[in-house]
Structure 1
Amino acid sequence: MPGKRTTRTTAAAVAIAATALMPSQASAQPSSDALNTYNDLSRQAEKLHEDHLKAQEDLKAKQGDLDKANADLQRAGQVADKAKADEDLFRGRVDLLTEASFEGARFTQLSALLVSESQQDFLNRMSAMSMIAQDNSEAMGKLSAALDAARKAQAFAQDAQKRAGEATDGAAKLVNDIAAKKSAMDQQVSAARNQYQSLTSPQKAQLANPGDTSPVQVPAGAAGAALEFALAQRGDTYVFGANGPDAWDCSSLMQKAYAAAGVSIPRVTYDQAKLGRAVTRAQVAPGDLIIYYSGQSHVAMAVDNVRAVHASTEGVPVLIANIDSIGPISVIRRVVG
């Protein structure tokens, strides 16, 4: 159970685990065209399933882009409204000051000197001229700032409208893409399930073998906690698109395992293949994610440098297998550490 450290498997259990049945390991399967066909169909269905999940994640991202663009558009409208109000206010002040200048409220120093009746009158007129000039300069500055804010708001609004349009178009395309991928996935899953029904009882029993279920000692830390969770699910059912608690697909098991360790990772294998840092096959350590196939459509978690635990395919429970028996390795990622 998660949360309880267990003892290391015996050498015999390791040997059993290393040769545990895996759908993608031809040497560990009966020589059967029907079984090989089922394995091929299952792998194809899993890739289409991951494609479908990825399209759904992309749609969420596009919806987020659309929501942000619409929020930016609304904010731009509010800024534009304020800028327009400021423009009206300060343009009115500038107009008043301009009108005052035509009515003789503004004079040159010479005209002030000529019409002044005394030295004090001259100083008063000069002071009034200075105040009017200051007011006019301030009003002009604020009018200029308001006009600049209005221009920026308009440009921001145009950009937001463009982004909103692109996000809407992208979302619409993804909706169609999701529908197409879902249809292809359903057909492939149905084909795999139909092929499964053609297998013999011994073949089905061999696929259903849970393999090594003995206690496994895990290291301390987040990687160990994630591995402990994954190991606790041994024997659970594989179902395309399942998210637990008793049925999984390959990537949902990895996501929930690391969530149990307090680490958030993406749902899809393609994104899990970009996590943390890459390590070599020789460097594999408990908790590492091992991504398989050139299309990166399957994932397992390293138990040690030899074994991995994973949700394989329908008809096969969550189990431990030899790392290299699961399929061709695309990349190995260390999520933490």
Structure 2
Amino acid sequence: MASNPAQRTTRAAVAATAVALFVGTQPLAAADPVPPNASDALKRYNELSTQAETLNEEHLRAQEELANAQGALDQANRDIAGAQQAQEALRGQVDLLTEASFQGARFSQLSALLVSDSQQDFLNRMSALGVLAYDNAESLRGLEEAVVKAEDAARRATEATDSANRAIGEIDQRKAALNQQIDEARDAYRSLSPADRRALNDAGDMGPIPVPAGKAGEALAFALSQRGKDYVYGSNGPDTWDCSSLMQAAYRSAGIAIPRTTYGQAKIGRSVTRNEVKAGDLVIYYSGQTHVAMAIDGLRAVHASTEGVPVKVQDIESIGPISVIRRVVG
């Protein structure tokens, strides 16, 4: 292809998604770290920071879907290469059979009878005639199938490339919106009073918390070990986190791979009710499913809240309205 479809498609499948996500931003994303009697400035900071986390998770989702689009394009290109190789091999086989038929292998039942020296020779010639006809028919069928596969793969690659081109501008827009929102939130943080900053920076319970045996307990132990570390939008650790990267790293430490975004994490494992919550469950918050915490027990959860707030333990209900609870193992 004239241009590199792999690079162009990366932005591909995300195109339609990017538009929808960018337009449909949810107003709340992060957990609410602000007490009811907070100052107006602190409330404003929380509003801006939660909006920034929503954009952050949506941008991460776009990148994730972009990677999926890249995978689809790569597969289409592999299919094209395989089909083209098959075509070349089968064309060669058909050409050989055709050439053989014109150079002596071409004979009818009558000619086979006329040139045969014996009955056995005739049977041998008839058998060769049947094999040649069968091989030629099979090669032609294979060649037709290879051509169809190549055409289908080329169509898929073209669609993926077109989609990628449409997505480029949308992803750039999403990133620009995220950066602007983060800047506003950080400006608001810098304007807070020392008392407001102390309220945000409170790491809460830093004491030992027992965890159950098993993979969920291992993941929880990791998440708890990160208490006190800072939140940074889009961070993947190990010194700073956002809400979904902390959950992903926690389960990775237990040998379990989970998606990077809150949206992906809201679909893994199995759903459990609020009354069934136990250690290691992922609690997804807000109607837009834009924040996630890990349950410690039926009352508490550990999470990375938002910038200016360290990873900490909070009451499950105080973090925000629960959308869904997912059990990753068990």
Which bracket does the TM-score occupy, shorter chain normalised?
A: 0.7 to 0.9
Q: Which residue of 2 aligns with 1:209?
A: 202
* Matches of 1:186 and 1:99, distance apart in 2: 74
Deviation for aligned residue 1:229: 0.6
Q: Which residue of 1 aligns with 2:290?
A: 297
Aligned in 2, Cα 1:96/1:256: closer, same or farther, shift over 3 Å?
A: same
Q: Which residue of 2 aligns with 1:193?
A: 186
* Residue 301 (structure 2) pairs with residue 313 (structure 1): no
* Matches of 1:271 and 1:140, distance apart in 2: 55
Q: Which residue of 1 aligns with 2:153?
A: 160
Aligned partner of 1:43 among 45, 50, 54:
50
SS at match of 1:321: strand
* Matches of 2:73 and 2:116, distance apart in 1: 62
Aligned partner of 1:33 among 36, 40, 54:
40
Deviation for aligned residue 1:189: 0.8
* Matches of 1:165 and 1:171, distance apart in 2: 10
* Matches of 2:50 and 2:182, distance apart in 1: 10
Structure 2 residue identity aligned to 1:24:
D
Aligned in 2, Cα 1:299/1:79: closer, same or farther, shift over 3 Å?
A: same
* Matches of 1:63 and 1:244, distance apart in 2: 25
* Residue 25 (structure 2) pairs with residue 24 (structure 1): no
Work out whether residues 94 and 136 of structure 1, in 8 Å CA contact, stay in contact via their aligned partners in 2: no
Deviation for aligned residue 1:225: 0.6
Larger Rg computed on CA atoms: 1
Deviation for aligned residue 1:105: 3.3
Work out whether residues 286 and 301 of structure 1, in 8 Å CA contact, stay in contact via their aligned partners in 2: yes
Note the aligned Cα RMSD (angstroms).
Answer: 2.0
Q: Which residue of 2 aligns with 1:68?
A: 75
Deviation for aligned residue 1:34: 1.8
SS at match of 1:106: helix
* Superposition map of 1:84-163 within 5 A: 84-96=91-103, 100-101=107-108, 105-107=111-113, 124-163=117-156
Deviation for aligned residue 1:91: 1.6
* Matches of 1:99 and 1:282, distance apart in 2: 80
Structure 2 residue identity aligned to 1:168:
T
SS at match of 2:112: coil
The count of corresponding residues between Structure 1 and Structure 2 is 301
Aligned in 2, Cα 1:36/1:149: closer, same or farther, shift over 3 Å?
A: same
Structure 2 residue identity aligned to 1:55:
A
Q: Which residue of 2 aligns with 1:333?
A: 326
Deviation for aligned residue 1:141: 0.6
Work out whether residues 31 and 291 of structure 2, in 8 Å CA contact, stay in contact via their aligned partners in 1: no
Structure 1 residue identity aligned to 2:87:
A
Structure 2 residue identity aligned to 1:71:
R
Q: Which residue of 2 aligns with 1:176?
A: 169
Structure 2 residue identity aligned to 1:249:
D
* Residue 62 (structure 2) pairs with residue 55 (structure 1): yes
Deviation for aligned residue 1:159: 0.9
Task: Name the TM-score, length of structure 2 as normaliser.
Answer: 0.86
Work out whether residues 289 and 334 of structure 1, in 8 Å CA contact, stay in contact via their aligned partners in 2: yes
Deviation for aligned residue 1:176: 2.5
Q: In structure 1, list runs of 5 or more residues that go unmatched.
A: 1-21, 113-121
Work out whether residues 93 and 139 of structure 2, in 8 Å CA contact, stay in contact via their aligned partners in 1: yes
- Overall identity of the aligned pairs, in %: 48
* Matches of 1:221 and 1:229, distance apart in 2: 13
Q: 1:197-250 CA deviation, whole Å, 9 max, x = no partner?
A: 222110111110001111101000010011011001111001001111111000
* Matches of 1:98 and 1:215, distance apart in 2: 86
Q: In structure 2, list runs of 5 or more residues that go unmatched.
A: 1-29
Deviation for aligned residue 1:51: 0.7
Work out whether residues 59 and 175 of structure 1, in 8 Å CA contact, stay in contact via their aligned partners in 2: no
Deviation for aligned residue 1:62: 0.9
Structure 2 residue identity aligned to 1:106:
A
SS at match of 2:301: strand
Aligned in 2, Cα 1:266/1:29: closer, same or farther, shift over 3 Å?
A: same
Deviation for aligned residue 1:173: 2.9
* Superposition map of 1:268-307 within 5 A: 268-307=261-300
Aligned partner of 2:225 among 194, 211, 232:
232
